[in-house]
Structure 1
Amino acid sequence: MRGMAEGLKLASEFAAGIIVGGGIGFLIDRTAGIAPFGLIVFLMFGFAAGIRNVLRHVSPKPPTAAPQATADAERAEKPRNS
């Protein structure tokens, strides 16, 4: 079930990006009278934003760097081989 929930989340984020982009493009077309160019451009922006959200979610996360104080404490605890 967890995989299905994650898939639905990704699909809804992708669709939301396209819908928001289309909505913004539609409003720009109505106010500026440049139909259909605003809709086309912002649908592409929405598509790109949706892909970016999905890729950001599925890409591996880099390990977080340990704080300097913790790294110094670990070095102090290790015996030296001299």
Structure 2
Amino acid sequence: MTISTEFVAGVIAGGVLGWIFDRMLGTKPWGLIVFLMLGFVAGVFNVMRASGFAGARSGRDTPRDP
């Protein structure tokens, strides 16, 4: 439940910020499109971070002596 909430929150926040940006600067629909994409990326990053997929190194990349 938490992981889906992280993703949805990122997309909604991006959409709201894009809508506000468009209203203030009159750049319909480009601000909404750009900020929705940024919100999607932020949501995916938050899901990866919450699931432990991002940032965790297993140590397999380091060479070992035979």
Query: Same fold per TM (> 0.5)?
Result: yes
Q: For this pair of structures, how many residues does the alignment match?
A: 56
After superposition, the C-alpha distances for 1:53-81 in whole angstroms (9 at most, x for unaligned) are 11112217458xxxxxxxxxxxxxxxxxx
Normalising by structure 2, what TM-score? 0.78
Structure 1, unaligned stretches of length 5 or more? 1-7, 64-82
Which entry has the higher C-alpha Rg, 1 or 2? 1
1:31-46 aligned within 5 A: 31-46=24-39
Query: Structure 1 CA distance, aligned partners of 2:28 and 2:57?
Result: 43
Residue 27 (structure 2) pairs with residue 18 (structure 1): no
After superposition, the C-alpha distances for 1:24-46 in whole angstroms (9 at most, x for unaligned) are 00000000000000000000000
Task: Flag the structure with higher helix content.
Answer: 1
Could you say what the CA RMSD is over the residues aligned between the two structures, in angstroms? 1.5
* Aligned partner letter, 1:13: E
Pick 1 or 2: higher relative contact order, CA cutoff 8 A, min separation 6.
2
Which consecutive aligned stretches of 4+ in structure 1 deviate over 2 angstroms post-superposition?
Answer: 60-63
Structure 2, unaligned stretches of length 5 or more? 59-66
Q: Which residue of 2 aligns with 1:53?
A: 46
